[in-house]
Amino acid sequence: MSKTLLITGGASGIGAATAYRATDRGYKVAINYRSRDAQAKAIVADIEARGGRAVALPGDMAQEADIVRLFEETERALGPITHLVNSAGINGRRGRVDEYDAAALANLFATNVTGLMLCCREAARRMSTKHGGKGGAIVNVSSMAATLGGRLGSSAYAASKGAVDAFTKGFAREVAAEGIRVNSLRPGMVLTEMTEARLKDQAFRTHIETSIPMRRVGKSHEIAEAILWLLSDEASFITGAMLDAAGGGYII
Ligand SMILES: NC(=O)c1ccc[n+]([C@@H]2O[C@H](COP(=O)([O-])OP(=O)(O)OC[C@H]3O[C@@H](n4cnc5c(N)ncnc54)[C@H](OP(=O)(O)O)[C@@H]3O)[C@@H](O)[C@H]2O)c1
């Protein structure tokens, strides 16, 4: 069966690593990006040079109209969407609760939560056997922050990822008998553009790595492998699960 995977936030980090490895496993890949036009197009060129099939599609996952257009354009370019990875996400403004800013919170939740939920809506409308679809698999990229409320200053981000996990469980049950599997993947600290500036500070990196049982941060491809396993038929009886890819978690 032809497999078409849409990855939101696919031009960098975990999303990009997933795009490359998905190509090696025979998926056609749609790489959504917000601002990274050149990065997205370079990944597509790389994938096509390896004999794969990919397209780069712009769209702000905090905007409903962009999400609807992204799904339509993906299907026009690559055929029915069979797999979805919601990787687009932001850290938001770090800070204590007594410093919260309402606009920053709204922006954080618009991308990490509402946008992800609307992507799942669009996927359900296409994949569900109830709507004439052939089923599919979805992975929502959450975070280990959801488990302990995040590291200090990350309570808002942690809350957004907690919402992703709760939504994933409810959505998974709703569509389980309609051919769709939905799971959350919870990375621990991973070296990507989201974290590299902070991890350049050796004292901070040592502090983080000391808190992780494996004593190191993760790499994007380690997360991508776990995502691809959840998407694959090897995980055919797994839905509504949260898989931690986090070197054993973290201690705070
Ligand atoms: N790295 C970690 O330690 C870690 C740990 C746990 C969970 N995560 C989660 O993993 C996911 C991927 O992050 P990453 O580590 O791979 O960092 P990353 O390289 O910064 O990737 C995030 C991607 O999401 C895109 N994005 C953000 N807002 C978007 C929007 N509204 N519409 C479309 N794209 C948007 C970003 O593009 P723009 O820059 O153009 O906006 C970027 O390409 C995120 O959901 C993150 O919360 C990461």
**Is 1's pLDDT higher than 90?**
no
- CATH superfamily, with its number, for domain 3-245: NAD(P)-binding Rossmann-like Domain (3.40.50.720)
- The CB of 89 under 6 Å from ligand 1? The reply is yes
Average pLDDT over residues 62-81: 98
Cα angle for residues 42, 47, 52 (degrees, 5° grid): 150
Average pLDDT over residues 81-106: 96
Q: Give the number of the atom of ligand 1 that is nearest the alpha carbon of residue 223.
A: 10
Alpha carbon nearest to ligand 1 atom 19, residue: 13
Domain boundaries, the chain: 3-245
Q: Tokens 């980090």 identify what position?
A: 13
What predicted TM-score, i.e. pTM, was given to this entire model? Answer: 0.98
Asked whether 10 lines ligand 1 (CB < 6 A), one says no
Name the pLDDT band for 93 (thresholds 50, 70, 90): confident
40 to 31, 85, 93, 251: CA distances (angstroms) = 7, 16, 25, 35
Residue 252: band (very low, low, confident or very high) from pLDDT cuts 50, 70, 90: confident
Judge whether residue 27 has pLDDT over 90: yes
| Phi/psi-derived region of residue 67, left when phi > 0, alpha when psi is between -120 and 50, beta in every other case | alpha
Q: 135-146 pLDDT, tens per residue?
A: 999 999 999 999
